[in-house]
Structure 1
Amino acid sequence: MNVLDGIGIFAYFVAVLVIGVTTMRRISNPADFAVAGNRIVWPVLFATLAASFLGGGASLGRAGESFSSGYAFMFAAIAFPIQTILVGYFVAPKLKRYQGAETVGDIMGRHYGKPVRLLTGVISMVYCIGLLGTQVLALGTVVNTIFGIPTTVGVIVGMTLVLVYSTAGGMWATVQTDVLQFAMLGVLLPVALMVGIGSAGGVSGLLERIPETHLSFFGDYGLIAFIGLFLAFGFGEMLIPPYAQRALSAPDPTNARKGYASAGVFGLFFYFVSASLGLVALVLFPNIDPDQALPTVVREILPVGLTGLVVAGLLAVVMSSADSYLNSTTVVFAKDIFTTFINPKVEGRRLLRYERVTNVFVGVAAIVFALSVPSIVDALLYSYTLWAPTVVVPLVLAVLFGVRAPKAAMAAMLAGMLCTSVWTWLLEEPFGITGLIVGLLGNAVTFTVIAVTADRRRPVLAHGGEA
């Protein structure tokens, strides 16, 4: 890389570290660390949400899968931004009824009791560490492809930077760096796509060289496999801890709705950009590893100066998601496990210190996970199989309809987990149906049966109060 490119990348790293260190002075209590004092207005909420969910999976992962399977993967994955828009309009505003809530466990606990809150907290932590692992793996992939540094080294170096600023500044640092990272990814990756299309001979030249199956709606998936992927991306990240935490950080329901829904709209555009970059890589560099599609395009075809900025943008895309999952895991442990079951009387300053120590331990766990999975999308789908079959149905029913059925919630979460595990790992997904779908159905059926036969349905008290 040219010296000018190196300067651009170095300047980005410095900016991120400065934000983390200066923001540290604004963190005076656990609420600042968790939800930034509930002062995130909708334009900032939009930027931080978009930067969070358009990370390694949505950029490198989508480009890599489009390299292998074509636009069909984009059509399946587009379920996520559609779901985000719907959640933004119908669910996110109602989260603001739960005064003082900072986690999904807070909400589940108010409807279903402490045992369900504990299980939700454990699932949230495992899920976030898994998703964090996908971002850490993506960091290593970018560093390896661009600089030739071993992936393991890239993972450790990239994650160390994330740990420094997220541990120092908590949610405040995460939000501010996300805004910077969103500005970079929102401009630079579309520019990279335009340059790539030009290098491939323009739009017509690109389309002529892409295999016909890569332009079809279903590709090589088949109807059942496509539907499975669509549902996996639609439910796999619905209201996961980092996104729910962003909605809870808004000052009121209106800001929560606007910020959440607009991030989903942007996702529709971004998924097309990242998928198209994967097809550009297929045409220009057909023999590379799919996960290297996006960074290879950046390294090989962009002019001097712009390359460094886009590399920084790629790193920004991944780091913006990594810091979100890292912060959420820490907050979940502090709120749903430590202060609820271990030490309810812990003081604010001491809890803040515990949160920062936890942040470091979680980062290390994510590095271990990232180095043990075969690809970015594999890591993403492994994590998806945990959240949707356990938490989504009880959470949505609680928020939208005020359902209070503790026995039904606990049984449904365990049933969903069991169904997913048996179908995925014991039966190895017969008929091509993903375990996530089976687990989600098992969860919903179990919840409905037990809620009708064993639990009472009571209305939510004002402001999401305790029953």
Structure 2
Amino acid sequence: MNYFNIDFLIVYAFLAITLIIGIRAGRGIKDIREYAIGNKMYGTLTLTLTFLATNIAGISIMDGASGVFFNGIVRIIPEIGVVIQILFFAFFITPKVLQFKAALTLGDVMGDLYGRVSKTIAGILGLFYSISMVSMELLGLGITIEALLGFQASWTIIIGGVFLALYSSYGGIKSVTITDVFQFLILIIVIPLLANIALKHVGGIKVVFASLPPTKLEIFNHENFSYYLTLFLLWSIFPVGITSPPIFQRLLMGRDAQQLRNQYFIVSVFHPTFQLLIMLIGLAGLVLYPTIKANNIIPHIIQQLLPAGGKGLAIAGLLAVIMSTADSYLNAAGLVFAHDIVKPVYDRNGLKIDELKCARYSTAIIGITAIVIALKSTSMLGLSFLAVKFTGPLLMFPLIAGIMGLKVDKQTFYTASLTTLGVFVFISWLLPIAYGHLGVPISILSNGITFFSMHVIKNKGFAIAKQLQSTIEVNMRWQLRSRSILAKLKQFLPTPTNLLAYSRNKVDMYGAPYVLFGVLLAINYILPYFAWTYEAPQTYNTLLMIRFIGAVLCGLLIVKEKWPRFLLPYLPTFWHLTVLYCLPFTNTLLFLNTQGSIECIANVAITTLFLIIVVDWMSFAILMSLGIYLVCVFFQYFFGKIELPLSFSLQYLLVYQFIFITLIGLLFVRRKPIKKTSASDRFAGTELGEQMEFAIQVTSRLVDHLFFYFKNTHQVWSNDRDGFIH
């Protein structure tokens, strides 16, 4: 075997660069805080990249592709759960977690909430979790290199483990972060390139889905649906990812809540996109090589489809995925061992410890331990489940409850933990092997029920610990107060009072172009309607009435200055109802009535972007979802069963334009809060200023984005009403 061909040289260069930048970045570390969280020195982009590099593990690449290869599109269910978990972090965890300003690890937070013993328990569980994950990644490293380069897996595991331990132990989080960024940049080149090449050899996405066996398109009737539903529950309803030591470590690295929230919003967009590319690689591999083993799909595609040099780059990309996760967990393992397990023992005995040196030595020793475990293991997925088997059930609910401000105590935590262990042992004995994966969610559920039941019994309800600012110097004290569950839930129920308050708050914050919107939509409803031809003339009268109602609603917006004074408090709610009716409801109804004509597909793009411009992003999500749902109910009641005989190309175009126009709109043209400080801002807050501002916004942004859209889809509309022109 030639160990100095172009592919090997690319791999050598990647490893050398990783080691060099890792060692250089870790120089000059002075204390354990800098070693653990880098003194919160990193910006949003760096934090985002290191989070993505850590979160996208080697198993997510291999199992993602092999999962869709073997089971079909049902594999997408857990990824939906991951996105829900990421958004949960963004909205609920990031505003609260930085109150633990001195914390370096998850164990520190548990110690603040439940005492020193709880910190040690969290440290032991975190150590177990991290070692399992490092071992899993090293095993994946050995399997990948042996399959692609023919190098013996055991030697790859040993060399790779030593390599990771060198820079991870020396530079801590500073070395890990900078190498994560470098590795992610390699990864973001390789995976899209691999997906593009695989799809090109198949003939495109259309050919992929047209060639799949029907069983690969099943979801709810799939034989493994319960397994993937379990994974969905673990990552959404039960967000066990918060108990991952390196993931929690990156939460503590944030400078402020807004930085962390922005990070998670970016991740919520990138993660599903990346996973979609991986799944497309697996589906393309199924069409190209239906007889090979599922676990070999990515190595086989690299071997068969990539030329010399490209193969080495792809291998470097896979190494980047594996190493960026392994070094993060290795760093976290050494840190929690030194900080959460060893240091408390020294503190209780009145002894001093060089915590930085201890963390470095611990990381190196744990790296060797992970090598031994990887050499003895045969299943990456088994190690992955082993990692969350105890940490998630024992820590998730107590940790989230404490972060969110629930009044917590040691007795509740210990009682819930003992109950959970008992349930886990019993369930593991009771369930057959085929349903063993249900043990983790059942254990988590038992922990939550026990924990919150104990809390309610002890406090006679839910007691919330609320921080109050008592002095100008911002000295914080804790005040306890109780709330009933019903009173708390009432705040989120769509009662008339809550709906009125929601609309007023949103209009006060973002404004509303009542008159301009009314004029524009009233003209659109009246004039073009009679010039159109219809494929279903029997629905003409019904649609005419629907458009007439829309014109009346818009007319009422135009004459809002003439409204009686007692009706003005209801104007914001009327505004949202009118937008709901005129945009998502009416245009979705036209789309269904014309059975998805190409003109109405184009109208979907215009409606989506228009809705993003006139309301805030949360109202956009609510109104769009509600409008589509109401149309489906209305259509089936008045017109009969919904039938959309769309070709695959039109389905693809519809989904593609909706997703990307929504994404572009929310990122670049969404409505932003009004800040009225200067004279010009005060003018913008007046009726005339608001209408002028909206007109300029519509003219510039809508034209720019729609010009780009029409330019790229003109050929489809003019030459092929039923599909794409490739």
Fold in common (TM above 0.5): yes
Pick from 80, 93, 117: which aligns with 1:115? Answer: 117
Distance 1:215 1:419 in 2: 36
- Letter of the 2:121 counterpart: L
- Per-residue CA deviation, residues 50-102 of structure 1 (Å, 9 max, x unaligned), is 00010112111221222221221122233123211221232023211111101
Instruction: State how far apart, in whole Å, the 2-side matches of 1:219 and 1:64 are.
Output: 20
User: Aligned in 2, Cα 1:271/1:464: closer, same or farther, shift over 3 Å?
Assistant: farther
Would the alpha carbon gap of residues 129 and 207 (structure 1) be closer, same or farther in structure 2, given more than 3 Å must change? same
1:251-266 alignment runs, 5 A limit: 251-266=255-270
Tell me if the contact between 2:162 and 2:368 (Cα under 8 Å) persists in the aligned partners: no
CA contact (8 A) 1:141 1:291 kept: no
Change (3 A) 1:158 1:402: same
Q: Residue 146 of structure 2 aligns to which amino acid in structure 1?
A: N
Contact 1:92 1:244 in 2 (8 A): no
Larger radius of gyration: 2
Q: Residues 167-220 of structure 1: CA distance to partner in whole angstroms, max 9, x if unpaired?
A: 111100100011111111122101100101112232233223332222233463
Q: 1:251 is paired with a residue of what secondary structure?
A: coil
Cα deviation digits, residues 363-422 of structure 1 (max 9, x gap): 122223333443322321232222221111011110012432211112212322332233
CA pair 370-80 structure 1, distance change in 2 beyond 3 A: farther
Secondary structure of the residue aligned to 1:78 is helix
Q: Tell me by how many angstroms 1:346 deviates.
A: 6.2
Matching residue within 70, 73, 76 for 1:74: 76
**Alignment partner of 2:277 out of 273, 277, 292:** 273
Aligned to 1:27: 29
Q: What CA distance in whole angstroms lies between the structure 2 residues aligned with 1:47 and 1:399?
A: 25
How big is the shift at 1:261? 3.2
Q: Deviations over 1:336-381 (max 9, x none)?
A: 1111223466667x22111111112211222233334433223212
Cα deviations across residues 310-341 of structure 1 (Å, max 9, x unaligned)?
Answer: 21011001100001111111111122111122
Q: Which moved more, 1:380-389 or 1:319-328?
A: 380-389
Match of 2:131 in 1: 129
Distance 1:333 1:100 in 2: 18
Distance 1:466 1:312 in 2: 51
Gaps (5+ residues) in structure 2? 469-474, 480-726
Partner AA of 2:126 in structure 1: S
How far off its partner does 1:40 sit? 2.0
User: Counterparts of 1:39 and 1:402 in 2: how far apart (Å)?
Assistant: 30
Q: CA deviation at 1:455?
A: 6.5
Of 238, 244, 248, which residue of structure 2 is paired with 1:240? 244
Q: What is the deviation of 1:104?
A: 1.0
Gaps of 5+ in 1: none
Matches within 5 A, 1:348-387: 350-387=354-391
- SS of corresponding position for 2:25: helix
Q: 1:435 aligns with which of 436, 439, 446?
A: 439
SS in 2 for 1:126: helix
Task: Classify the secondary structure of the residue corresponding to 2:408.
Answer: coil
2:91 to 71, 89, 92: 89
Work out the CA distance in 2 between the residues paired with 1:18 and 1:210.
Answer: 45
Cα drift, residue 465 of structure 1: 8.8
One-letter identity of the residue aligned with 1:70? G
Aligned to 1:180: 182
1:229-261 CA-partner distances (Å, limit 9, x unpaired): 211343342342111101101122221221233
Query: Does the aligned pair in 2 maintain the 1:291–1:376 contact within 8 Å?
Result: no
* 1:253-277 residue CA offsets vs partner (Å, 9 max, x unmatched): 2212212332232111111111222
**Alignment partners' CA distance in 1, 2:304 and 2:21:** 31
Matched, 1:459 2:459: no
Distance 2:363 2:476 in 1: 29
State the distance in 2 between where 1:141 and 1:226 align: 24
Deviation of 1:12 after TM superposition, in Å, equals 0.9
- Supply the distance in 2 between the matched residues of 1:310 and 1:433 (Cα, whole angstroms): 33
Q: Does the 8 A contact of 1:127 with 1:383 survive in 2? A: yes
What is the root-mean-square deviation of aligned Cα atoms in Å?
2.5
Q: Paired residue for 1:203?
A: 205
Question: 1:298 aligned to 291, 296, 302, which one?
Answer: 302
Distance 1:16 1:106 in 2: 31
| Contact 2:245–2:332, Cα closer than 8 Å, also in 1 | yes
Once the two structures are overlaid, the 10-residue window that deviates more, 370-379 or 6-15, is 370-379
Distance 1:460 1:358 in 2: 38
Q: Does residue 170 of structure 2 align to residue 171 of structure 1?
A: no
Partner of residue 324, structure 1: 328
Aligned partner of 2:46 in structure 1 is: 44
**Higher alpha-carbon deviation: 25-34 or 392-401:** 25-34
Greater relative contact order (CA < 8 Å, ≥ 6 in sequence): 1
C-alpha distance in 2 between matches for 1:230 and 1:464: 39
SS at match of 1:25: coil
1:99, 1:464 within 8 Å by CA — same for their partners in 2? no
Q: Distance in 1 between matches of 2:478 and 2:32?
A: 22
Distance between the aligned counterparts of 1:221 and 1:77, measured in 2? 18
Distance 1:182 1:465 in 2: 42
Q: Counterpart amino acid of 1:247?
A: L
Tell me if structure 2 keeps the 8 A contact 1:134–1:379: yes
- What is the alpha-carbon distance in structure 2 between the residues aligned to residue 387 and residue 65 of structure 1? 25
Give the corresponding residue for 1:307: 311
Q: CA contact under 8 A between 2:195 and 2:280: conserved in structure 1?
A: yes
Q: Indicate conservation of the 8 Å contact 2:79/2:272, yes or no.
A: no
Give % identity: 27
Structure 1 contact 52–324 (Cα < 8 Å) conserved: yes
* One of 49, 59, 62 as aligned partner of 1:60: 62
Tell me the matched-pair count.
Answer: 466
